[in-house]
Structure 1
Amino acid sequence: MARKAKHLLDELSRPGPHEVLRGDLALVGMPGVVHTPKSGLGLPAVAFGHGWLQPPARYRGLFRHLASWGIVVAAPGTQTGPLASHRLLASDLRTALDVCAGVRLGAGEISVDPDRLGLAGHGTGAGSAVLAAADDDRVHAVATLAAAQTRPFATEAARHCAMPSLHIVAGRDLVAPPASNADLIARTWGGPAQVRTIAKASHLGFAEGRHWSNLLVHGKSEHATQRVSRALLTAFFLVRLTGKTEYEPLLTEDVKGTEITHPEPAHT
Structure 2
Amino acid sequence: MASLVYELSLPGPHTVMRGDLGLVGLRGVVFTPKTGRDLPAIAFGHGWLQPPLRYHGLLRHLASWGIVVAAPGTHTGPFGSHRLFAADLSAALDAAIGVRLGDVRVSPERLGVAGHSFGGGSAVLAAAADERIKAVATLAAAESRPSASMAAQQCRMPGLHVTAGRDLVAPGVGNADLIAQNWAGPVQLRELPKAGHLGFTEGRHWSQLLVQGKPERKTQRYARALLTAFFRTHLAGDRTYAEFLEEDIKGAPLAT
* Alignment TM-score > 0.5, same fold: yes
What is residue 69 of structure 2 aligned with on the other side?
A: 73
SS at match of 1:217: coil
What is residue 211 of structure 1 aligned with on the other side?
A: 205
- Mapped partners of 1:171, 1:248: distance in 2: 25
- Mapped partners of 2:130, 2:38: distance in 1: 20
Q: 2:96 aligns with which of 100, 103, 118?
A: 100
What is residue 118 of structure 2 aligned with on the other side?
A: 124
Which letter maps to 1:48? F
What is residue 91 of structure 1 aligned with on the other side?
A: 87
Shift of 1:81: 0.3
SS at match of 2:255: strand
Q: 2:195 aligns with which of 190, 195, 201?
A: 201
- Mapped partners of 1:173, 1:85: distance in 2: 22
Between the two proteins, what is the percent identity of the paired residues?
Answer: 65
What is residue 250 of structure 1 aligned with on the other side?
A: 244
Are residue 31 (structure 1) and residue 31 (structure 2) matched? no
Are residue 190 (structure 1) and residue 184 (structure 2) matched? yes
Ranges of 4+ aligned residues in structure 1 off by more than 3 Å: none
What is residue 180 of structure 1 aligned with on the other side?
A: 174
Alpha-carbon displacement from aligned partner over 1:46-87 (angstroms, at most 9, x marks no partner): 000000000000000000000000000000000000011111
- Mapped partners of 2:33, 2:79: distance in 1: 34
What is residue 266 of structure 1 aligned with on the other side?
A: none
SS at match of 1:110: strand
What is residue 11 of structure 2 aligned with on the other side?
A: 15
Alignment check: 8 A CA contact 1:6 1:250 kept? no
Which letter maps to 2:159? S
Shift of 1:104: 1.8
Which letter maps to 2:8? L
Structure 1 unmatched ranges of 5 or more: 263-268
Shift of 1:259: 1.5
- Mapped partners of 1:7, 1:201: distance in 2: 20
- Mapped partners of 1:188, 1:178: distance in 2: 14
TM normalised by structure 1 equals 0.94
- Mapped partners of 2:151, 2:193: distance in 1: 27
Which letter maps to 1:70? G
